[in-house]
Amino acid sequence: MLKTSLRYSHELLEAVIEEGDIVVDATMGNGNDTLFLAERVGKKGHVYGFDVQEQALANTTKRLEENDCLEQATLLLQGHETVGSILLDKTIKAAVFNLGYLPKSDKHVVTHEATTITALIALLDRLEEKGRIILVIYDGHDEGKIEKKEVLSFVSELPQEKFSVLNYQFINQRNNPPSLICIERKKD
Ligand code: SAM
């Protein structure tokens, strides 16, 4: 059966992440992706997680604690647009953005194209060869429609000599299924 965007995103990440890698969860939310990443990189690796909501930080901290993964994580109550100032000269194997708003939470707190693209530029600069950045984009809300258009326009222009960019989406489903973008850095 064809996979949902969320399931496929984890397969695409799992295929490249190894123990000891440095990775980023740009939108922690309830910590599902953060935990997934922390389990893959193990205690020798590291996950940097970002979110602007205290609830997201609290939920993700609890989730990692319960699964003995907190040690390999730095969880930050700050926007992903600051990722460059946190990573400095570190390189990353992977990053994931799950855009939009946190279900069952304040639907006014959403990601925006300008900050998403700022973060993406900083992460692309630090992406290792064969590393991957995933964006899951929802356009069922007004801001999401603008964000999707701008993000797709930005990633479509990435030079094909350096990056492969995949867009995976069901196009005959009701209720605005998300788009999955996967950017892979080619070998130099
Ligand atoms: N991946 C998450 C999970 O597993 O539960 C769900 C993420 S949810 C769809 C989007 C999250 O992005 C929300 O928790 C929201 O607070 C967060 N967010 C909004 N603007 C942000 C920003 N500038 N930087 C980081 N996170 C942001």
For residue 184, what are its two tokens?
A: 């892979």
> Which among 136, 149, 131, 46 has a CA at the least distance from the CA of 99?
136
Q: Which of 6, 24, 52, 85 to mutate to test the pocket of ligand 1 (most atoms within 8 A of CB)?
A: 52
Q: Which atom of ligand 1 is nearest to the CA of 26?
A: 25
> What confidence tier does 108 reach under pLDDT thresholds 50, 70, 90?
confident
Q: How far is the CA of 52 from the centre of ligand 1 (A)?
A: 7
> Which among 132, 167, 171, 172 has a CA at the least distance from the CA of 152?
167
Alpha-carbon dihedral sign for residues 87, 89, 94, 95? positive
Beta strand 179-185 pairing with 46-51? unpaired
The single residue listed with the structure tokens 């196009």 is: 171
State whether the beta carbon of 136 lies less than 6 angstroms from ligand 1: no
> Which among 76, 46, 82 has a CA at the least distance from the CA of 61?
76
Over range 96-125, report the average pLDDT.
Answer: 92
pLDDT tens column, 32-72: 999 999 999 999 999 999 999 999 999 999 999 999 999 99
- Cβ atoms 12, 132 nearer than 8 A: yes
**165 pLDDT higher than 90:** yes
Q: What is the CATH number of the domain that holds 101?
A: 3.40.50.150
**103 pLDDT higher than 90:** no
State whether the beta carbon of 56 lies less than 6 angstroms from ligand 1: yes
Over range 108-133, report the average pLDDT.
Answer: 96
For residue 122, what are the domain limits?
5-185
> What confidence tier does 156 reach under pLDDT thresholds 50, 70, 90?
very high
Q: How many domains does the chain have?
A: 1
**9 pLDDT higher than 90:** yes
State whether the beta carbon of 111 lies less than 6 angstroms from ligand 1: yes
Rg (CA), the chain: 15
Q: Given this model, what pLDDT does residue 116 score?
A: 97
> What confidence tier does 104 reach under pLDDT thresholds 50, 70, 90?
confident
- Cβ atoms 72, 41 nearer than 8 A: yes
ipTM of the predicted structure?
0.97
Q: Which atom of ligand 1 is nearest to the CA of 30?
A: 5
Average pLDDT, the chain: 95
